[in-house]
Amino acid sequence: IRFKLAQKGLAETVIAEITGDYDFEEEYGRALRLVAAKFDSPPTGEQKQKIARFLSARGFADSTISKVFAQFE
């Protein structure tokens, strides 16, 4: 999120103010619970793509999605 905001030209002080109180661990926990509720076994191949699209469509950061996949490896 921070990287994308910087790419759009926002000052680092503004980015820090916006994201300062955001709990990324809570976001990770929510994403992990969603995946666990939807899939009984660890995802493979095509399922990973489906999960990535599912989480991305719900606004989860790419880093969070990667972290969720790392949990299953």
Separation CA 39–CA 54 (nearest Å): 12
| Residue ranges in the chain modelled with pLDDT below 50 | none
Separation CA 49–CA 47 (nearest Å): 5
* pLDDT attached to residue 31: 92
* pLDDT attached to residue 1: 66
